[in-house]
């Protein structure tokens, strides 16, 4: 009887595994985004990690030769699709169509990894290695003395830490920060608990598999989780499913532990020093964008980074732009929909493109 039960259990588990594999294969194929790139290149950082640079395509607009190349850097738990998810809602394609030479960086955190490579996915490692290697590569391949940098969420946080440490100001012409918090906040009781939590006990977040498993049903109904990363009302039909299959990546335990530590002290740190500490004397013009209902990077948190930027250099041009109904926009913006919301092509993208095209800040 025990043998029979064991055989039945093995059969059931095998059928479940087969069904899961078939389900993943079907929906991944159906929802997979494929868009062409002029080039895709893997780069190895000094500490042995692999990052990826993708070039959208050579710009053809008349002003292309006068504009700096643009590097777009994704956020936490994401990859390059963060800024290139759909042709209609892609900041990368929008800028390229208007004469910008656009490059997409996939950080070490945006690639599936195992073993030692997975353990090397640390915030500080990306600050000290991924960003300088990628920026140097874009400068070398384009011959540009400086580039324009756009960081989404963690992509902006990494630059906060890299400026003055691993990335010289001279390498940057202009900076756009989109939903990148200066405060990493959690409730006070949770903060005290995180301070006592050993790094070794912080687990990773296996988001990639879960996202792909449930992508097909993600738009059938709403759960409390839908509002964590986006404002569901501001996401075009079909894009939530597409994002779950194409954009979401795991957060390795080492990186998760970094953010737990940041939450415990209320800010991101590199070498024990606040990433905002070195921004006071920055002279690079910057545009900061925030979403009115962003739960991951609230307006006040992005504003904190804006205030720190060039705090001792009032002559440095900078602008803070929150997006939401209270500010005259069509819809309130959460976090992810700052990149692919319904109205980004008419509300957010033109503001970014105008800033990069050196139109006056008002």
What count of other Cβ atoms lies within 10 Å of the Cβ of residue 347? 18
Q: Report the relative pairing of strands 50-55 and 102-106 from DSSP bridges.
A: antiparallel
Separation of alpha carbons 72 and 175, rounded Å: 10
What are the CA-CA distances from residue 156 to residues 178, 183, 187, 192 (Å)?
7, 13, 23, 27
| pTM over the 0.85 mark | yes
Structure tokens at 274: 């606040």
* Tokens, residue 136: 């140097």
| Residues 200-224 as b or e (16 or more Cβ within 10 Å = b) | eebeebebbeebbeebbebbeeeee
| Residue 330 burial by Cβ neighbours in a 10 Å radius (0-12, 13-18, 19+) | middle
- Is residue 359 over pLDDT 70? no
* Residue 361 pLDDT > 50: no
- The pLDDT tens digits for 281-338 are 999 999 999 999 999 999 999 999 999 999 999 999 999 999 999 999 999 999 999 9
Q: CATH for 30-356?
A: 3.40.50.1820
* Cross-strand pairs, 172: 147
Higher-confidence residue of 269 and 190: namely 269
pLDDT at position 291? 98
């Amino acid at each position: 009887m025990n043998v029979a039960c064991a055989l039945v259990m093995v059969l059931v588990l095998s059928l479940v595994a087969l069904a899961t594999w078939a389900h993943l294969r079907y929906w991944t194929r159906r929802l997979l985004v494929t868009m062409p790139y002029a080039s895709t290149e893997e780069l190895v950082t000094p500490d042995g990690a692999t990052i990826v640079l993708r070039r959208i395509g050579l710009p053809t607009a008349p002003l292309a030769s006068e504009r700096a190349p643009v590097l777009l850097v994704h956020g936490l738990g994401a990859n390059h699709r963060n800024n290139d998810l759909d042709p209609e809602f892609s900041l990368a394609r929008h800028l390229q169509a208007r004469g910008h030479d656009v490059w997409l960086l996939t950080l070490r955190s945006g690639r599936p990894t195992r073993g030692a490579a997975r353990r090397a996915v640390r915030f500080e490692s990306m600050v000290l290695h991924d960003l300088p290697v990628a920026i140097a590569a874009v400068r070398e391949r384009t011959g540009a003395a400086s580039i324009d940098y756009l960081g989404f969420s963690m992509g902006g946080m990494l630059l906060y830490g890299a400026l003055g440490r691993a990335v010289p100001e001279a390498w940057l012409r202009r900076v756009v920060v989109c939903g990148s918090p200066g405060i990493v906040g959690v409730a006070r009781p949770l903060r005290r608990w995180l301070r006592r939590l050993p790094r070794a006990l912080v687990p990773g977040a296996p988001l990639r598999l879960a996202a792909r498993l449930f992508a097909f049903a993600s738009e059938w109904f709403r759960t409390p989780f839908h509002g964590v990363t986006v404002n569901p009302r501001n996401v075009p039909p079909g894009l939530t499913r597409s994002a779950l299959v194409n954009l979401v990546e795991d957060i390795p335990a080492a990186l998760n532990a970094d953010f737990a530590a940041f939450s415990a002290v209320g800010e991101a740190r590199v070498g024990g020093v606040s990433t905002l500490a070195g921004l006071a004397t920055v002279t690079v013009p910057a545009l900061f964008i925030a979403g009115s209902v962003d739960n991951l990077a609230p307006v006040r948190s992005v504003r904190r980074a804006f205030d720190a930027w060039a705090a001792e250099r009032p002559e440095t041009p900078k602008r803070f732009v929150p997006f939401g109904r209270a500010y005259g926009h069509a819809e309130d913006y959460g976090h992810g929909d700052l990149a692919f919301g319904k109205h980004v092509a008419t509300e957010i993208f033109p503001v970014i493109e105008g800033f990069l095209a050196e139109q006056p800040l008002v």
